[in-house]
Amino acid sequence: MLVEITVKVDGKLVRTHVQNVDGTLEQMEEAIHAMGKRVVNNALQASIQAVDLPRPLFRKTEVPCDIAARSPVR
């Protein structure tokens, strides 16, 4: 039996995997399950890479010039 798994993220084709699976029903089930796990892992990695880098939650605080000038140097 020819099994095809196609994964799309936001309408873009991320991964297509085609494999011929044969044997007993149990062997075919195990082969299809393993194939699905591999394809899902690849799709997850591709979708993570497609996401824009998030902006930092916090900015580094800068000391205003007037406060820095009043602080004693130690």
Residue 20 has a pLDDT of 94
Structural domain boundaries in the chain: 2-53
Region 52-71: what's the mean pLDDT? 63
User: What distance, in Å, lies between the first and last C-alpha atoms of the chain?
Assistant: 78
Count of H-run helices and E-run strands, the chain: 2, 2
- Checking if the pLDDT of 73 tops 70, the result is no
Output the six-digit token pair for 69.
Answer: 């000038």
> CA torsion angle for 23, 24, 29, 32 (degrees, to 10)?
10
- Checking if the pLDDT of 2 tops 90, the result is yes
- Write the pLDDT tens digit of every residue in 15-56: 788 999 999 999 999 999 999 898 888 878 877 776 666 656
Between 15 and 73, whose confidence is greater? 15
Region 61-73: what's the mean pLDDT? 61
Q: With left for phi above 0 and alpha for psi between -120 and 50, is residue 68 left, alpha or beta?
A: alpha
